[in-house]
Each structure stands twice: as C-alpha cells, then as structure tokens.
C-alpha cells in the first residue's frame, strides 16, 4: 500500500507540475523573449538561491574555486539560478527565434565550420556543456541547413517529460533519448553520415576519469572514441549569454589528438582537451554553468565537509 500511495503522489506531482508549466507557457507565449527572460531571471535570482540545492553548488565552488570569497560564490550561485530559470522560460520563444536575421539576438562565430558541414555533410559529433542557453548551439546549425540529431536525457516525471520533449522537437531536427537504445540510434546515425549533438559536461557512471578543474572526474568517453573510430569531426560549441536575452554561439574547430598512439591514448587526449575547454568556458562565465550536480568523486568533498 505505501508503494501505491507513493506512486499516486508522484503522479499527482507530475500532473500538477506539467499543468503549471503549460499554463505559464500559454500566459507568456505572446510576450517578447527579453521581457519574459528578464522578469523570470529577476525572480529566480532573488528567491531560488535560498533552496537547499544551493548548498551542493556552493560545495562544488569551494572544491574547484577555493580562491573565491563566500560572497563571490553566492553571487555565482544567484547567477546560476537566474540563468537556469531564463533557460526554462526562453523555451517558450525558441521555436519563433530566427538566428540569421538583421538585429538577431544571436551572434554566430565559426560560420566556416557550419558551412563546411553543410557542404560536406557528416558524420560529425557536436559537443557542448550546460552553459548559457545550450539549445541555441544546435539551433544555430539547424537554421543553416544542417540536419542534427540531439541526444536527450529523459526526465524522471513522465508527463512533464512528454511536454518538454514535445517542445524540444520544435527546435530540433530529431531527438533521441539517452540509454542503450539511444546509443544504438546515435551510432546508426553517424554511420549513415549524420550529425549528432551531445551535452558532455556532466557526470556519468560510465566513462573515464579525466582531470576537470585539476580534479579527476568521470567523463563520457564513448563519443570521443566513436569520433576517432569513424574518423569524424569532434566539434566543440560554446554558448555565452549577454544582457536582455542576447547570445553568442561559437562553433570551434574540431578537436584532434595531439599525440600519436593507441585508440585508448588518443581518446584520453581528446577527453583531456574537452575538459580543458569546458573549464575555460566556465571560468569565463561561472554564473552561466549548472553547478547543481555532484560532478566530482565523493571523497574529494570530505575536506570541505569538515
């Protein structure tokens, strides 16, 4: 019985959550993106830092940026919540956002990389992190004619997941969910000459331990290994946020192994380069990264838990 009650409670939570999201989306749909983003950002910045989840973010900052004062860390966490809330509510306007128009909100750099992909096709792997509004990375390529398949992590609440997936499909060519089936579809897409977009900055159980901010962290290794096996470009995409819902998206040149060696050695080198890039981007705009996950092994937190 307790299990059934728990399931009912979870369903009610999911139902009320998705109804609330749909209601808010309908209310804000016709408002300019900057109005919605600025309003929600202000509310989030002044309220959400008090949530208990902020404690984990503070610990992550204490671990990798110990030189910062507590006030500086709290400022970053407030900015993180602001950015995350903006991301969620900017989804409302993304399907209508035209990137390649006069007075666009999005500055695009690295167009030559996009044009090369458009001319020559795939296979190619695009990778990015949870920075600024990360969805713009794929949209920038899509609106230049690239056919991109995005890997999507299924949410824990089924109804909410269905709605978010519905919105997601309006701004992506194709969406596949993470997991064994998703991995097979991704590999099949690449073998057929397709382009796949992935978020690779968060912790996974599988992968390899690679330095991230100087501390070993489990890092997804399969995409880099596949890129080497299929001899396809492994392309980093950086997204930055600026005031009033303006952005810069940069398609960087593909990463290539800096060493000659075995597949394992070259994979390790690509992963090291990837984490170094992520770290440099995060240090430029630390308030625009998602600090809420326990990114590093538990035993590294013991010294700051005392």
DSSP states along 25-67? HHHHTTS-HHHHHHHHHHHHHHHGGGSTTHHHHHHHHHHH-TT
> What's the CA gap between 222 and 227, in Å, rounded?
9
Token representation of residue 121: 């096709």
Instruction: Count the residues in the chain.
Output: 306
Task: Name the residue with tokens 């989804």.
Answer: 91
> What's the CA gap between 39 and 34, in Å, rounded?
8
CA end-to-end span of the chain: 40
> What's the CA gap between 248 and 242, in Å, rounded?
8
In this predicted model, what pLDDT tens digit does every residue of 171-180 receive, in sequence order?
777 777 777 7
Query: Once rounded to an integer, what is the mean pLDDT over residues 5-23?
Result: 74
Q: Are 34 and 245 in contact (CB under 8 A)?
A: yes
Q: What is the pLDDT of residue 5?
A: 72
Q: What is the pLDDT of residue 230?
A: 94
In this predicted model, what pLDDT tens digit does every residue of 117-132 receive, in sequence order?
998 887 999 999 999 9
Query: Once rounded to an integer, what is the mean pLDDT over residues 43-51?
Result: 93
Query: Once rounded to an integer, what is the mean pLDDT over residues 216-239?
Result: 94
DSSP states along 223-267? HHHHHHHHT--EEEEEEEEETTTEEEEEEPPPP--SS-S-HHHHH
Confidence of residue 305 (pLDDT cuts 50, 70, 90): low
Residue 158 above 90 pLDDT? no
Q: State the CB neighbour count (10 A cutoff) for residue 231.
A: 7
Helix H or strand E encompassing 268: helix 263-284
Q: Based on C-alpha coordinates, what's the Rg of the chain? A: 20
Residue 1 above 50 pLDDT? no
Average pLDDT, the chain: 88
Confidence of residue 60 (pLDDT cuts 50, 70, 90): very high
Token representation of residue 32: 């300019």
Q: What is the pLDDT of residue 166?
A: 75
């Amino acid at each position: 019985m307790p299990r059934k009650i728990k399931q009912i409670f979870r369903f009610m939570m999911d139902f009320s959550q998705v109804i609330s999201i749909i209601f808010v989306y309908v209310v804000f749909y016709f408002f300019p993106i900057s109005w919605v983003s600025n309003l929600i950002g202000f509310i989030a910045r002044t309220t959400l830092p008090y949530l208990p989840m902020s404690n984990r973010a503070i610990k992550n900052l204490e671990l990798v940026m110990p030189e910062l004062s507590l006030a500086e860390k709290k400022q970053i966490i407030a900015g993180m919540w602001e950015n995350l809330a903006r991301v969620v509510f900017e989804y409302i306007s993304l399907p209508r956002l035209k990137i390649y128009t006069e007075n666009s909100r999005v500055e695009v750099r690295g167009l030559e990389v996009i044009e090369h992909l458009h001319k020559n096709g795939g296979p190619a792997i695009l990778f990015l992190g949870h920075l600024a509004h990360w969805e713009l990375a794929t949209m920038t390529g899509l609106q230049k004619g690239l056919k991109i398949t995005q890997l999507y992590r299924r949410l824990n609440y089924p109804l909410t997941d269905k709605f978010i997936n519905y919105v997601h499909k309006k701004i992506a060519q194709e969406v596949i969910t993470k997991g064994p089936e998703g991995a097979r579809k991704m590999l099949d897409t690449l073998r057929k000459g397709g382009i796949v977009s992935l978020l690779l900055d968060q912790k996974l159980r599988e992968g390899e331990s690679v330095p991230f901010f100087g501390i070993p962290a489990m890092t997804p290794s399969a995409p880099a290994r596949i890129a080497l096996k299929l001899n396809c470009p492994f392309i980093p995409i950086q997204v930055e946020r600026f005031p009033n819902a303006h952005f810069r998206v940069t398609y960087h040149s593909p990463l290539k192994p800096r060493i000659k060696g075995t597949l394992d050695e070259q994979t390790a080198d690509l992963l090291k380069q990837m984490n170094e890039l992520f770290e440099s981007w995060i240090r430029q705009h630390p308030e625009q990264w998602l600090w809420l996950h326990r990114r590093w092994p538990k035993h590294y937190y013991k010294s700051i838990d005392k």
